[in-house]
């Protein structure tokens, strides 16, 4: 008594007339949801928010120097340094081989190493040593965790306030600015929690370094 659907809809009728709508639905909805929808969104977005829609590009002197939301690599002591990045890229000597290439914005990547991985622990220990050496910290000083761990995207644009502060002495020394000036600069470039609540307070490294260059070029305008 339960399964009476068979008697009402004989087996031959089950898929009768379904083939054409199935095929037509695939093509039609591909056109509507796969082309019309993203293209319409693109058109409106380019009109309303042209800068963000193109990737929030940052220009200096007419040249694109990066994107405001994408991190980039800094190694010179005169700049604030970003978090470690696990992205890789093709080896210039042999394109089939991939090598470490931090902040490769063409191929996001993470270490994906688990918490008990010896490879991870060795990398963190090595980064902590290098960080202490660069910033003149005493041996054994605990280093802010974001400074020694790779981000999820490999393109994290931000560092923590703790990390930025520990780098001030080095940058100030290299640039011949006072630590107080730099502390004020870091505070000015600090992004607070969004709406006072969401996420974490942080410093965007590219924006901070741009401000730093500007302050060094025009010391009078420096804070």
Among positions 177-206, residues that touch other proteins (CB under 8 A) are 191, 193-195, 197-200, 202, 206
Give the residue, chosen from 135, 149, 189, 215, that forms a contact with other proteins under the rule CB under 8 A: 149
Other beta carbons within 10 angstroms of residue 150's beta carbon come to 23
- Smallest distance, other proteins to C-beta of residue 212, A: 9
Query: Which of 110/173 has CB closer to other proteins?
Result: 110
What binding mask, one character per residue, do residues 21-60 give for other proteins by CB under 8 A, x or -? xxxxxxxxxx-xxxx-xxxxxx-xxx-xx--xxxxxx---
Find out whether 123 and 187 touch, Cβ atoms under 8 Å: no
Other beta carbons within 10 angstroms of residue 65's beta carbon come to 13
DSSP assigned state of 9: S
Query: Which of 172/204 has CB closer to other proteins?
Result: 204
Contacts with other proteins by CB under 8 A: the residue count is 122
Length of the chain: 223
Of the candidate spans 70-78, 168-176, 177-185, 215-223, the one that interacts with other proteins by CB under 8 A turns out to be 70-78
Of the candidate spans 115-123, 167-175, 177-185, 214-222, the one that interacts with other proteins by CB under 8 A turns out to be 115-123
Footprint (CB under 8 A) of other proteins, residues 125-144 = 125, 128-129, 132, 140-144
Query: Angle formed by the axes of helices 205-217 and 179-188, to 10°?
Result: 130
- HSE of 125, CA atoms in CB hemisphere, 13 A: 6
- Taking the CA atoms of the chain, what radius of gyration do you get in angstroms? 26
Give the residue, chosen from 156, 167, 171, 182, that forms a contact with other proteins under the rule CB under 8 A: 156
Tell me whether residue 151 is exposed, middle or buried, using C-beta atoms within 10 angstroms of its C-beta: 0 to 12, 13 to 18, 19 or more: buried
């Amino acid at each position: 008594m339960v399964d009476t659907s068979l008697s009402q809809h004989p087996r031959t009728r089950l898929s009768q007339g379904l083939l054409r709508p199935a095929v037509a639905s695939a093509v039609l909805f591909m056109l509507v949801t796969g082309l019309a929808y993203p293209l319409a969104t693109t058109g409106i977005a380019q009109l309303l928010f042209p800068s963000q829609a193109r990737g929030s590009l940052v220009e200096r002197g007419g040249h694109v120097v990066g994107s405001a939301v994408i991190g980039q690599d800094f190694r010179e002591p005169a700049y604030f340094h970003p978090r470690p990045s696990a992205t890789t890229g093709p080896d210039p000597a042999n394109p089939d081989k991939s090598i470490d290439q931090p902040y490769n914005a063409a191929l996001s990547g993470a270490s994906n190493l688990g918490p008990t991985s010896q490879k991870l622990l060795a990398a963190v220990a090595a980064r902590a040593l290098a960080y202490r050496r660069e910033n003149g910290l005493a041996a054994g000083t605990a280093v802010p965790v974001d400074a020694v761990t790779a981000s999820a995207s490999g393109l994290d644009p931000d560092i923590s306030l703790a990390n930025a502060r520990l780098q001030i002495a080095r940058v100030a020394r290299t640039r011949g600015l006072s630590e107080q000036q730099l502390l004020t600069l870091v505070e000015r470039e600090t992004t607070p929690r969004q709406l006072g609540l969401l996420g974490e307070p942080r410093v965007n490294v590219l924006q901070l370094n741009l401000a730093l260059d500007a302050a060094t070029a025009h010391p009078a305008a420096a804070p």
